[in-house]
Structure 1
Amino acid sequence: MENLPAVVSPYGAYAGLGLHIHDLTIRGHHGETLIAADAAEGALRILGDGRTYRVSRLGRMYALSALGRPDEALRIGEELVADTGPSTGPRTTDAKILADTARMLIQVGRMDEGLHYVARAMAMLDVVPRKSLRYFSAMASLADAAREAELFELAEVAMLQAINAFEEPNDIYRSGAELQYAEFLLEWALRLEQVQREEEAAVILGKSVTILTYWSDRGTDAPIGEALLALGYAKQGRLTAAQELVDEHLMPMRAGGHNHETRALHMAHGLVLRAAGDLRAARREFLAGDELCVLPAQRLNFQFELAVTAAMQSPGEASSTMLGALHAHIRMLWQLRLDRRTMLHQSYKRVELEAARKSADRQATSDALTGLGNRRMFDSRMSSMSGAGALLLIDVDRFKAINDEFSHGVGDRVLGEIAAVLRAHCRHDEVAIRFGGDEFALFLSTGELESRQVAERIRQVILSRDWSTIAPGLRVTLSMGLATCRPGETGDDLYTRADANLYAAKRGGRNRLAAAA
Structure 2
Amino acid sequence: MHVLATTGRAPEAIEAANAFLMIAQAVRDQKSVAFLHQGRMYAYLDMGQIDEATAAGEHLLTLHQQSGNVVGEAKVLCDLARLRVFQGRLVDGMRNLARAGMLLDSCPRSDRHRSAMCSFAQSAAAAQMYEIAADAYEHLTAQDNARGRRTTSFDLVYSRTLLYWGIRLGHAGRCDEAATRLRRTADITRRWLDQHPGDPCMTAVQALALAKLGDTAVAEKLASSAIMPLRQGDSGEFARMAHLALGISLRASGRLAESRREFLAASQLCDIKPPLPDERPIIRYEMGLTALALDGGQPSQDLFAAVANQVRELWQLRLQRVGMLRQARQREELEAARADAELQSRRDALTGLGNRRRFDLLLGQVDAGEMGRPLTLLLVDLDHFKAVNDAYSHSAGDRVLREVATLLVSHCRPGDEAVRYAGDEFVVFLRGDGTRAREVAERIRQSVARAEILAGVRLTVSVGMAELTDGMTAEALFRAVDDRLYAAKWSGRNAIAA
TM-score by length of 2: 0.84
- Any idea what the Cα deviations from partners look like across 1:372-397, whole Å, max 9, x if unmatched? 21111112222342365323224255
> What amino acid maps onto 2:283 in structure 1?
F
1:392 pairs, out of 366, 371, 377, with 377
Once residues 35 and 459 of structure 2 are traced to their aligned partners in structure 1, the CA distance between those partners, rounded to angstroms, is 39
Q: Does 1:500 align with 2:479?
A: no
**Contact 1:51–1:88, Cα closer than 8 Å, also in 2:** no
- Give the Cα separation in 1 of the matches to 2:209 and 2:492: 78
Gaps of 5+ in 2: none
Give the corresponding residue for 1:116: 95
Superposed CA offset, 1:265-292 (max 9, x none)? 2222323333343333332222222233
Give the Cα–Cα distance (whole angstroms) in 2 for the partners of residues 223 and 500 of structure 1.
Answer: 74
Q: Name which of structure 1's ranges 310-319 and 104-113 shifts more when overlaid on structure 2.
A: 310-319
Q: Check whether the contact 2:163–2:185 (CA below 8 A) recurs between aligned residues.
A: yes
1:394 and 1:478 in contact (8 A); partners too: no
Hey, what does 2:346 align to over in structure 1? 365
1:224-239 correspondence runs (5 A): 224-239=201-216
Q: CA–CA distance in 2 between the matches of 1:410 and 1:239?
A: 75
Write the letter of the residue equivalent to 2:162.
L
| Correspondent of 1:263 among 202, 221, 240 | 240
Contact 1:456 1:513 in 2 (8 A): no
Paired AA for residue 48 in structure 1: R
Query: Does residue 436 of the first structure (1) align with residue 419 of the second (2)?
Result: no
In the alignment, which of 50, 58, 61 is matched to residue 41 of structure 2? 61
> Which residue is 2:292 aligned to?
311
Q: Name the amino acid aligned to 1:253.
A: L
Match of 1:196 among 161, 173, 181: 173
- Alpha-carbon distance in structure 2 between the residues aligned to 1:513 and 1:292: 70
Task: Establish whether residue 480 from structure 1 lines up as the match of residue 459 from structure 2.
Answer: no
Q: In the aligned structure 2, how far is the partner of 1:281 from the partner of 1:465?
A: 82
**What's the offset of the Cα at 1:206?**
0.7
Query: Which residue, out of 104, 108, 112, partners 2:83?
Result: 104
Amino acid at match of 2:58: E
SS in 2 for 1:441: strand
Matches within 5 A, 1:104-503: 104-129=83-108, 131-166=109-144, 167-170=146-149, 175-219=152-196, 224-293=201-270, 294=274, 295-386=276-367, 388-389=372-373, 390-395=375-380, 398=383, 400=385, 407-408=396-397, 410-422=399-411, 424-427=412-415, 430-446=416-432, 448=433, 451-457=434-440, 459-460=442-443, 463=446, 479-503=462-486
**Aligned-residue offset at 1:474:** 7.5
Tell whether the 8 Å contact from 1:267 to 1:285 is kept in structure 2 after alignment: yes
Q: How many Å apart are 1:411 and its aligned residue?
A: 1.5
Q: Whose Rg is larger?
A: 2
1:236-256 CA-to-partner distances (Å, cap 9, x unmatched) read 344454445445443233223
Distance 2:34 2:128 in 1: 28
SS in 2 for 1:372: coil
**CA distance in 1 between partners of 2:112 and 2:7 (Å):** 21
1:160 to partner: Cα distance: 2.0
* CA distance, structure 2, for counterparts of residue 216 and residue 470 of structure 1: 63
Deviates more, 1:111-120 or 1:412-421: 412-421
Matched residues, number: 483
Provide the secondary structure at the position in 2 that maps to 1:442: strand
- The 1:287–1:457 alpha-carbon spacing in structure 2 relative to 1, beyond 3 Å, is farther
The answer on whether the counterparts of 1:459 and 1:511 sit within 8 Å (CA) in structure 2 is: no
Shift of 1:441: 1.6
How far did residue 329 of structure 1 move? Answer: 0.9
Report the alpha carbon displacement of residue 115 of structure 1 after superposing the two structures with TM. 1.1
Maintained 8 Å contact 1:66/1:260: no
Residue 3 of structure 1 aligns with which residue? none
Which residue does the alignment assign to 1:78? Answer: 58
State the TM-score, normalized to the length of structure 1: 0.82
2: CA distance, partners of 1:399 / 1:330? 77
The change in CA–CA distance for 1:462 and 1:489 in structure 2 (over 3 A counts) is closer
Deviation string, structure 1 residues 85-144 (Cα, Å, up to 9, x no partner): 3x5244233222212211110111001111111221222233333x32233223222222
Distance 2:254 2:436 in 1: 77
Q: Is the 8 A contact 2:351 2:402 kept in 1?
A: no
